[in-house]
Amino acid sequence: MASEPTTVTITGGGGQIGYALMFRIAAGDMLGPDRPVRLRLLEIPQGMRAAEGAALELQDCAFPLLADVDVTDDPLTAFNGTRIAMLVGARPRTAGMERGDLLAANAGIFGPQGNAIGAVADDGVRVVVVGNPANTNALIAAASASPDIPSERFTALTRLDHNRAVGQLAEALGVAPGDIADVVIWGNHSATQFPDVSHAILPDGMPVLEALAERLGGEAAATAWLDDVFIPRVAKRGAEIIEVRGSSSVASAANAAIDHVRDEQLGTRRGLTSAAVVSRGEYGVPEGLVCSFPVTSRGHDDGYRVVEGLDLDERARARVAASVDELALERDAVRALGVL
Ligand code: NAX
């Protein structure tokens, strides 16, 4: 093998997204065809058999890039020396559960995992939180890893929302998804998120807004489509998938998590993408909230940087503010639990 394997930890390794993630990572889809990986799968005792079974299948794939697979229910073992931590396992909302209960249950997972990352992960670890409520779980994990690991090394996944937005636009415009650049998801990975196409362009530089107006019969029709169809459809796509498929998004979520880590590690290719990162006050978002922004990465362990200076009109500012308010409420609820 070319180089020392990169340790990648997946929590919830016995769950659905974990299962969809690990084979693609082992095949080189995330870190490239030259970087061997060592996988660590973290589970709770009830999930251990499923994760162990997945590890047997990984062995049966004989992936040339896969150096090793460990399955454990001990966070200190799972995160020991890890460079990339993908926090997927979370406590789902069950019937009758209030938002505060959900936040508290997940604080009980992401607090200890953040502690363990601070204690034993590689200093250069990068963490992506997939498990919901992803933004606030990332906030909790980052606070719990502090001061050993800087909080900017923690991110949350909004790339699935980003990719969903690109997919919807591609269909509406009759172009390939790869033709659409500079879509932005702002805010929380929840129904309040704001999928923003006002900076999006096609390969010839034509603004997507203009292309939509041409295709839909004018600016007013394009605005109505964005407000009434596009934004709610992207924001509620998870529910649509459950209704049609009878089960939640799995392969598309794993794919987005791979896109997120790949672009962060190797660099964004064309234009910007979306990721939830710790706010430094950009666009007026209160410092410390884990908020989805337009980001780019130059690779080489540079991490995601917020792209500043994009113009937001009044309508866009109101939508961003509504989602940021929700993030602040989640943070306050977690603070009230004494977690932060
Ligand atoms: P599953 O229920 O299939 O798998 C979750 C796994 O996590 C289970 O095997 C469970 O035993 C394990 N787990 C629970 N607590 C754990 C802990 N403390 N340590 C280690 N493992 C633990 O769910 P799946 O479909 O894989 O979804 C995982 C999470 O992703 C959910 O929270 C889901 O809401 C979230 N999603 C986030 C998305 C995003 O874009 N940010 C989109 C997809 C998905 O909805």
* pLDDT (0 to 100) of residue 241: 96
CB 256 within 8 A of CB 157: yes
Task: Give the residues surrounding ligand 1 with Cβ less than 6 Å away.
Answer: 11-12, 14-18, 42-44, 46-47, 88-90, 92, 109, 130-132, 134, 157, 160, 189, 238, 248-250, 253
pLDDT over 90 percentage in the chain: 94
Question: pTM of the full predicted structure?
Answer: 0.97
Q: pLDDT (tens digit, 9 = 90+) per residue, 129-145?
A: 999 999 999 999 999 99
pLDDT of residue 242: 95
Contact 42, 73 (CB under 8 A): yes
Q: What pLDDT, on the 0 to 100 scale, is given for residue 3? A: 84
What is Dmax (Cα atoms) for the chain? 59
State the Cα angle at 66 between 64 and 67, rounded to 5°.
110
Cα(149)–Cα(125) distance, rounded to whole angstroms? 8
pLDDT in tens, 19-49: 999 999 999 999 999 999 999 999 999 999 9
Could you tell which of 74, 77, 130 is best to mutate to test the pocket of ligand 1, judged by most ligand atoms within 8 Å of the CB? 130
3-state secondary structure of 182: coil
pLDDT band at residue 99, thresholds of 50, 70 and 90?
confident
Q: What proportions of the chain, in percent to the nearest 5, are helix, strand and coil?
A: 50, 15, 35
User: pLDDT by residue (tens digit) across 216-245?
Assistant: 999 999 999 999 999 999 999 999 999 999
Residue 336 CA, distance from chain mean position? 26
- 16 Cα to the center of ligand 1, angstroms: 7
Interval 166-173 mean pLDDT: 98
Give the domains, in start order, of the chain with CATH numbers: 6-156 (3.40.50.720), 159-335 (3.90.110.10)
Residue 189 appears among annotated catalytic residues: yes
Taking residues 182-191, report their average pLDDT.
97
Residue 163 has pLDDT above 60, yes or no: yes
For residues 45 and 270, which has the higher predicted lDDT (pLDDT)? 45
Q: Mean pLDDT throughout 103-131?
A: 97
What pLDDT, on the 0 to 100 scale, is given for residue 207?
Answer: 98
User: Quick one: pLDDT at residue 2?
Assistant: 56
Structural contact between residues 274 and 161, judged by C-beta atoms closer than 8 angstroms = yes
Supply φ then ψ for residue 201, to 5 degrees: -135, 160
Distance, in Å, from the CA atom of 311 to the CA atom of 160, rounded to the nearest integer, reads: 24
Residues 6+ apart with CB under 8 A from 84: 6, 7, 8, 9, 31, 125, 126, 127, 128, 261, 265
pLDDT band at 270 (very low <50, low <70, confident <90, very high): confident
Residue spans of beta strands (DSSP E) within the chain: 6-11, 37-42, 66-72, 84-87, 126-129, 154-156, 184-186, 194-196, 273-278, 290-296, 305-306
Residue 98: pLDDT band by 50, 70, 90 thresholds? confident
Choose the residue to mutate in 44, 127, 250 for probing ligand 1, maximizing ligand atoms within 8 Å of C-beta. Answer: 44
Nearest-angstrom CA–CA distance, 212 and 217: 8
* 1 pLDDT above the threshold of 60: no
pLDDT value for 97: 84
What is the C-alpha to C-alpha distance for residues 129 and 109, in angstroms, rounded to an integer? 12
Higher pLDDT, 1 or 10: 10
